[in-house]
Amino acid sequence: MTMAAFVLRNDMDGKKIEKADEVLELGQWLGQRQAFSLVAGRCSAADARALRELRESKKYKLLGLNWEEACKQLIGICRSAADQIIRHEQEFGSDYFVIAQVTGISADEYRRIQGSVSAHKLLCAGEEIAISIENAPKLAAAVDALRSETPAAPPAASPQHRFDKAERGLRKALAEVDELRAAPLDIGERMRLKTAIGEAIRKLQLMDLQVRV
DSSP result, 32-78: HTTT---STTT--HHHHHHHHHHHHHTGGGGGT--HHHHIIIIISS-
Report helix, strand or coil for 175.
helix
Residue 150: band (very low, low, confident or very high) from pLDDT cuts 50, 70, 90: low
Residue 114 structural domain: 107-149
Same domain, 84 and 139: no
pLDDT for the residue numbered 29: 60
Residue 9: pLDDT above 60?
no
- 183's torsion region: left (phi>0), alpha (psi -120 to 50) or beta? beta
The share of the chain scoring above pLDDT 90, in percent, equals 26
For residue 193, what are the contacts with CB-CB under 8 A and spacing of at least 6? 177, 180, 181, 185
DSSP state of 132: S
Amino acid symbol at 136: A
Distance, in Å, from the CA atom of 142 to the CA atom of 161, rounded to the nearest integer, reads: 37
142 lies in some domain: yes
Distances, alpha carbon 194 to alpha carbons 174, 190, 201, in Å: 13, 6, 11
Angle of CA points 54, 70, 66, to nearest 5°: 95
97 lies in some domain: no
Distance, in Å, from the CA atom of 46 to the CA atom of 35, rounded to the nearest integer, reads: 13
pLDDT mean across residues, the chain: 80
Q: pLDDT tens across 153-194, in order? A: 556 667 787 888 888 888 888 888 888 888 898 998 889 989
Distance, in Å, from the CA atom of 101 to the CA atom of 89, rounded to the nearest integer, reads: 14
pTM of full prediction above 0.85 = no
State residue 77 phi and psi, 5-degree precision: -135, 165
Residue 42: pLDDT above 80?
no
Final residue in a domain of this structure, among 98, 129, 149: 149
What total number of domains does the chain contain?
3
pLDDT for the residue numbered 138: 93
Same domain, 7 and 76: yes
98 lies in some domain: no
Same domain, 116 and 39: no
Same domain, 136 and 186: no
129 lies in some domain: yes
